Amino acid sequence: MLRGVDLALARGESLALLGESGSGKSTLLHLIGGLDDADGGEIVLDGVHLTGQSDGDRSELRRERVGIVFQQFNLVPSLTVAGNLAFQARIAGRFDAAWQKELVGRLGLEGLERRYPEQLSGGQQQRVAIGRALAVKPRLLLADEPTGNLDEATGDDVLGLALDLVAATGCGFLMATHSTRLAQRLDRQVTLAKGVLVVP
């Protein structure tokens, strides 16, 4: 349960949400991303009030304005790298071939476009997941422990790429993590403890 969470994030700003397992980090990201409906309080995304909206309205807003990266890569196994990258953008009607090509280059995925997820390393799969989330040029990128399934060096590389792409698009970036080392690479850090937000 979340209690006493008051948080604002500007476009182009990156914020690390620290906390132990069970502190409420994933719950907060799910509420901000419209995956769950809050039973109290107010959530405003890009001027739109999410609280009380229907599942369909939240889903539409999420498709068009929010990119989400999970610890589990959640790629579509039957789609190639190119297909996975374009997936959310095509659903939202915002596919941009030039931007997809740029994403492939920035993410170091050249030559892998016709491969399937099972043919990729963990780091490559997470790069595809980040690219898919950013393909729609969202206003907000949410990442829930995006490096949790990667070794330290690969995780550092993937986070660096995410920060570069966030800077390129100007979207806000909120990352849940338990790593203070990774959190320090973002503009700001806050901590969730037993559902309460602690700002240093």
Tokens representing 157 are: 């590389």
HSE-CB at 45 with a 13 A cutoff on CA atoms is 30
Is 43 within the bounds of a domain? yes
Is 116 within the bounds of a domain? no
Q: Which pLDDT score, from 0 to 100, does residue 48 have?
A: 86
Three-state DSSP class for residue 154: helix
| Predicted structure pTM score | 0.91
Is 170 within the bounds of a domain? yes
Q: Which pLDDT score, from 0 to 100, does residue 107 have?
A: 92
Q: Which domain holds residue 70?
A: 14-77+137-198
Is 183 within the bounds of a domain? yes
- Give the residue carrying structure tokens 């602690």: 198
Is 88 within the bounds of a domain? no
pLDDT for 122-165, tens place per residue? 999 999 999 999 999 999 999 999 988 889 999 999 899 999 99
- Count of the separate structural domains present in the chain: 1
Is 141 within the bounds of a domain? yes
pLDDT for 167-183, tens place per residue? 999 999 999 998 999 99
79 φ/ψ angles, rounded to the nearest 5 degrees: -105, 145
Is 123 within the bounds of a domain? no
We report the CATH number of the domain holding residue 184 as: 3.40.50.300
Tokens representing 199 are: 């700002």
Is 95 within the bounds of a domain? no
Is 149:72 a contact under the CB 8 Å cutoff? yes
Contacts 24+ apart (CB under 8 A), 108-113: 108/161, 109/81, 109/85, 112/81, 113/80, 113/81, 113/82
